[in-house]
Amino acid sequence: MRSYSLLASAKINLYLEIIGDRLDGYHELAMVLQSIDLVDRIDLRAIGTDTIRVRCDHPQVPPDKNNLAYRAADLLAKQFPDALAKYGGVEIAIHKQIPVAAGLAGGSANAAAVLVGMDLLWQLGLTQSELQELGGTLGSDVPFCIAGGTALATGRGDQLSPMPDCGPLYVVLAKFRNLSISTAWSYQTYRQQFSSSYCAPEDLDCRRERLHSGPMVGAIAQKDRSKIGQLLHNDLEKVALPVYPQVLQLREAFDSAGVLGTMMSGSGPTVFALAESQERAEEVQERVKSAIASPDLDFWVTKFSNTGIRIVSDGN
């Protein structure tokens, strides 16, 4: 096969708790991650030369080493030089629907699709866990983006325990178009403000005591949608809400629209709300749209998804 098209799902964080420091300088986390049906399409095509080419229809996405999708292809080229010599380089075309720098793991999802697609294109025969291990070296969210669905993520976010599908739940997402928040800034600021309460890397008792993800895990196992809504949590809101009034405004507007629950996703600035039906989600969208009435506000209505990467065509 000389080309593949894949769909890569965005994720939201139903739960994000910062436990403490890690020896590698990252934060020890407990998260519940959920794939949603908002996808980018990634087209991969074998090209005659030994180069990696990236193009994207979104002006903010760089075509070079700053793009996680490029780095994913580069990683495989370095790990598997024989495959590069045999099959040649690859052209990666990214068709963006997932907003960029939004807390929805769009870049990680693109890298995940490149790993899955190039494994097929180069006939590497890697297992999902081998792909996830490679993905983990590119970014903390990449292993989850490969697996998709619902998962408890610990460590720096890359240690995954799959969780049961919690049934159909609808999601409204809103983001101010020109607002982005750097993930590194969020964690750094959190460290500056809250590191006195961090668990030390070797203090396992402290880590066990600090974990509060149990009730959310239970609510998902019971498919209790109102409880899932009530238990949404994200420690990074503590640094984002005071600095970005637009995020706070969205949180409050969703709250007033009578949703199952609302939260900032990841390091933001996207805010999501959960609703029990598509109709209800669309109603919430309209309410928040008219409450805020800003031409700079983008919305998406979507639903939970149980897949990370889907192969939609394997052309020649």
69 is in an annotated binding site: no
Residue 216 to residue 223: CA distance in whole angstroms: 10
99 is in an annotated binding site: yes
103 is in an annotated binding site: yes
* Residues forming the site for ligand C5P (CB under 6 A): 26-27, 29, 139-141, 156-157, 183-184, 187
261-264 vs 271-275, strand pairing mode: antiparallel
Smaller CB distance to ligand C5P: residue 52 or 138?
138
Tokens 């961090």 — which residue? 198
Smaller CB distance to ligand C5P: residue 156 or 227?
156
11 classed as catalytic:
yes
Cβ burial 227-246 (10 Å sphere, 16+ → b, else e) = bbbebbbbbbbebbbeebeb
Q: How far is the CB of 220 from ligand C5P (least distance, A)?
A: 21
Q: How far is the CB of 119 from ligand C5P (least distance, A)?
A: 21
Smaller CB distance to ligand C5P: residue 119 or 235?
235
Q: How far is the CB of 182 from ligand C5P (least distance, A)?
A: 8
10 Å CB burial of residue 150 (0-12, 13-18, 19+) is: buried
Q: How far is the CB of 15 from ligand C5P (least distance, A)?
A: 14
59 is in an annotated binding site: no
Joined tokens for residue 175: 């983001």
200 is in an annotated binding site: no
DSSP string, 77-142: HHH-HHHHHHH-EEEEEEE--SPTTSSS-HHHHHHHHHHHHHHHHTT----HHHHHHHHHTT-TTH
Residue 275 to residue 282: CA distance in whole angstroms: 9
Cβ burial 270-299 (10 Å sphere, 16+ → b, else e) = bbbbbbbeeebbebbbebbeeebeeeebee
Residue 59 to residue 200: CA distance in whole angstroms: 41
C-alpha torsion sign, points 101, 103, 105, 106: negative
Smaller CB distance to ligand C5P: residue 27 or 41?
27
Smaller CB distance to ligand C5P: residue 30 or 166?
30
Residue 223: left (phi > 0), alpha (psi -120 to 50), or beta? left
Q: How far is the CB of 151 from ligand C5P (least distance, A)?
A: 15
Catalytic residue among 43, 141, 158, 235: 141
Q: How far is the CB of 156 from ligand C5P (least distance, A)?
A: 3
Smaller CB distance to ligand C5P: residue 28 or 119?
28
214 is in an annotated binding site: no
Tokens 């409050």 — which residue? 252
> What residues are designated binding site for ATP?
99-109
Q: Which residues line the annotated binding site?
A: 99-109
Residues annotated as catalytic are 11, 141
